[in-house]
Amino acid sequence: MCCAHRLLSAALAALSLLVLALMAVPSSGAAGPVELDNAGLVQMLENLGYEPKEGKYPNGNPFQTIAGATPELTWSANLSVNPSTHLIWLEMNFWSLQGDQKFPYDVLLEALERNFQLDTMRYVYLKESRKFRLAGSLPNRDIKPVQIKALIDEAVNEAQQTQHLWNPNKWRQQPAKDEPAKAPDQEEAAEQEAP
């Protein structure tokens, strides 16, 4: 019994030393957020039922093009992981202005107004290429498939509802004005409203 007691005491002492040693090791802190890479994005899109096709930006970075259709719209979108900004981007390119074609003023105004109603998406005009697009991003931290799906769904729903903004065939037929009509100043407006 005496040997068993010594053996038990020695085992407890060894265990205590092990616990103290583990407690003394500096921890590296909690693991940081996990960032999705291009391969992870491809896998996530495939798991969501899409068939991503890889393309390359002029700088060589990859993007994934996915496509789909609803009764009202056939669409495609590019998704990419940007390691320098730690964002996942979605872009829907609608069209480019041709020649001397101009945006109708009311189209631009409504697109700007809609930017304040959207969650993660924004209408963007690229001056150099004269392209109009819908773009949005998510922080690349612990991304879940439901977040990617929500980003895609928001873009598709917005594109469906606003074809009159981005489809030139649905624009009003009057020529675009270079500048909006002058708004009356406050005094003129007050005079017009006075009884």
Residue-range domains of the chain with CATH: 38-170 (3.30.1460.10)
pLDDT confidence tier of residue 20, bands split at 50, 70 and 90:
very low
Kind plus residue range of the DSSP H or E element containing 3:
helix 2-24
What pLDDT sits at residue 161? 92
* Statement: residue 61 has pLDDT above 90: yes
Indicate the pTM of the whole model: 0.71
Q: Pick the closest to residue 68 from 77, 79, 58, 59 (CA basis).
A: 77
As a whole number of angstroms, the distance between CA 59 and CA 126 comes to 17
pLDDT tens profile 68-83: 999 989 999 999 999 8
pLDDT tens profile 80-96: 999 888 999 999 998 88
Q: How far is CA 164 from CA 57, 66, 158, in A?
A: 29, 23, 11
